[in-house]
Amino acid sequence: MAINLKTLSAKPELLAGGHAACAGCTGPTVLRQALLAAETPLVCGSATGCMEVVTTLYPHTAWRTPFIHNAFENSAATMSGVETAFRALRKKGRIPDREIGFIAFGGDGGTYDIGLQSLSGMLERGHKMLYICYDNEAYMNTGIQRSSSTPKGADTTTAPAGSVKAGKEQNRKDLTAIVIAHNPAYVAQATPSDPRDFMAKVQKALKADGPSFINCIAPCHRGWRCKPDSGIAIAQLAVETCFWPLFEWERPGKFTVNYKPKEKKPLEEWLKLQGRFKHLFEPKNKPILDELQRDVDSRWVELLAAEERTKDVQVK
């Protein structure tokens, strides 16, 4: 699906400037790209989190769409209810017969953790809506606490690196795989560093006949302890190292890898730009670095194998 950036640049912005996001935050970039991609009117909701807080400082709002603020745990449930009400009212002829897109946004805390049950319910019930997770890999809004999306070895306020432990001890949750297990209509991973790919996926997701989900990496310079102007470059380096591969899954089970680096870069190149991993470069923590690299390598091989295995699958 072709994305013409010149044409999109002429569209009105659905996220107003002047919000309170940190300078250099990639979260608003994720929101802007998603909203620009939509080809129909939208109704949006967001779980409590960074993007909700910075865009809805009472009595102001940065949203130029109908917008519902939801608690951490129920963004998907609320928006699936709105989608159901829309279908019911349209069927009864009480509202015009037109298409409207429904998008729920949430960070990793409100998606991987607290909101997982309502996300799972939305997927299982089959609502025609899109859920976008802007994944900054910790609870950045409340103090940089670890989440189940936080990579192993990262230094956070609730999993600190020190003389006893080397940061978070557990591997990160593979939420994208969990969503795929629900057999929705469409699933993808994306990055704001590749707007054409991300926006094409948003368009495909909104047109899908059923629930769709996009997991989008969103570097946080405060939590990742990197330079404020480095977020997009670090997001792209996550792709080049295959820590964050770009792919799609479409029912009934077709994998498509959207980008294959000509030269897969070592994971260390991505890690060394982030202060949260600084301690891993001490000699005593080299086994953790080796483990992280092996994990990325094995997951990449598995993804390529899945694409090859499902290349003849016909998408419904």
3-class DSSP state for residue 68? strand
Q: Does residue 314 form part of some domain?
A: no
Domain of 51, CATH number, reads: 3.40.50.970
Distance CA 267, CA 197 (A): 22
Counting the structural domains of the chain, the total is 1
Beta carbons within 10 angstroms of residue 67's beta carbon: 18
Q: Does residue 66 form part of some domain?
A: yes
Query: What is the residue range of 42's domain?
Result: 5-309
Q: Does residue 136 form part of some domain?
A: yes
**pLDDT score recorded for residue 261:** 98
Across the beta sheet with 212-217, the strand order is 67-70, 42-47, 101-107, 130-135, 212-217, 186-190, 247-250, 254-257
Q: Does residue 14 form part of some domain?
A: yes
Which residues does 238 contact at the CB level (< 8 Å), separation at least 6?
191, 217, 219, 244, 270
Q: Does residue 315 form part of some domain?
A: no
Q: Does residue 140 form part of some domain?
A: yes
Q: Does residue 238 form part of some domain?
A: yes
Q: Which amino acid is at 233?
A: A
3-class DSSP state for residue 278? helix
Distance CA 129, CA 75 (A): 12
Instruction: List per-block mean pLDDT (blocks of 10 residues) for the chain, which spans 316 residues.
Output: 81 95 97 97 97 95 97 96 97 94 98 98 98 98 97 98 96 98 98 97 97 98 97 98 98 98 98 98 97 98 98 92
The helix (H) or strand (E) run that includes residue 53 is helix 50-55
> What is residue 48's DSSP assignment?
S
Q: Which amino acid is at 90?
A: R
Distance CA 138, CA 108 (A): 7
Distance CA 142, CA 248 (A): 32
**pLDDT score recorded for residue 253:** 97
Token pair for 142: 């409340």
**pLDDT score recorded for residue 6:** 85
Distance CA 26, CA 5 (A): 19
Q: Does residue 105 form part of some domain?
A: yes
**pLDDT score recorded for residue 149:** 98
Beta carbons within 10 angstroms of residue 143's beta carbon: 11
**pLDDT score recorded for residue 1:** 55
Q: Decide if 251 contacts 183 (C-beta within 8 A).
A: yes
Burial 293-309 (b: 16+ CB within 10 A, else e): bebbeeebeebbebbee
**pLDDT score recorded for residue 112:** 98
Q: Decide if 122 contacts 129 (C-beta within 8 A).
A: yes
